[in-house]
């Protein structure tokens, strides 16, 4: 094969890989539809096993037993099949474990824009460092509505196990806080 043809084949394969990742990553999170699976950081890998053939996707849930995994799997399969992928296999992987540090900057921005206080960057239990123990309940969480850090924990659990319910003492508005993991 001439060098030019080999280079074009590699370029096409790279383009195809980027398309597959973009399609799978564009799926909205079923519990937090304001962010995608890529922005949430749960999409771990997308691999085509043969040119324009079956695709394997690796997904790490935000926690073991996450009820949204089935919906995420079905949505990934659906979007890839819509783009002509003949066969899709989604595997759930637990290592390395997901952490709130995996949420992209864009994902954090979107959470805040939709009234959900994002987790603090680098504040996860692992954060690439030795475990620091449980997250204290007295964190200074910034209100996504007015920006005040004068907030009160109302419930350790909100609409999903990933979020806590807080109230801002300045604007008095309740809001969700995506907990650090």
Residue 104: pLDDT band (50, 70, 90) is very high
- Phi and psi at 149, nearest 5°, equal -100, 5
Identify the pLDDT of residue 160.
Answer: 83
Q: What is the pTM of this model?
A: 0.78
Q: Which helix (H) or strand (E) holds 4?
A: helix 3-25
Identify the pLDDT of residue 177.
Answer: 93
Domains of the chain plus CATH, in order, are 3-92 (3.30.300.130), 116-178 (no CATH)
Instruction: Please state, in angstroms and rounded to a whole number, the distance separating the CA atoms of residues 133 and 67.
Output: 25
Q: Which two tokens stand for residue 124?
A: 């996860």
Beta bridge partners of residue 116, listed in sequence order: 176
Q: Does position 7 have pLDDT exceeding 80, yes or no?
A: no
Residue 92, exposed/middle/buried by CB under 10 A (0-12, 13-18, 19+)?
middle
């Amino acid at each position: 094969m001439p060098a030019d043809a080999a280079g074009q084949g590699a370029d096409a394969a790279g383009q195809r890989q980027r398309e597959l990742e973009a399609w799978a990553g564009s799926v909205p999170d079923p519990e937090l539809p304001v962010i995608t699976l890529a922005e949430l950081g749960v999409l771990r890998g997308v691999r085509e096993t043969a040119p324009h053939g079956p695709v394997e996707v690796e997904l790490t849930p935000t926690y073991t037993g996450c009820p949204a995994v089935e919906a995420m799997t079905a949505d990934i399969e659906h979007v890839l099949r819509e783009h002509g992928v003949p066969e899709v296999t989604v595997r759930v992987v637990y290592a390395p474990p997901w952490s709130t540090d995996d949420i992209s900057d864009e994902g954090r921005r979107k959470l805040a824009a939709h009234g959900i206080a994002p987790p603090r960057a680098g504040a996860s239990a692992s954060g690439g460092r030795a475990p620091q123990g449980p997250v204290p309940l007295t964190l200074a969480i910034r209100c996504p509505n007015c920006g005040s850090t004068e907030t009160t924990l109302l419930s350790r659990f909100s609409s999903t196990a990933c979020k806590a319910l807080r109230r801002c003492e300045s604007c008095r508005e309740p809001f969700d806080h995506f907990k650090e993991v």
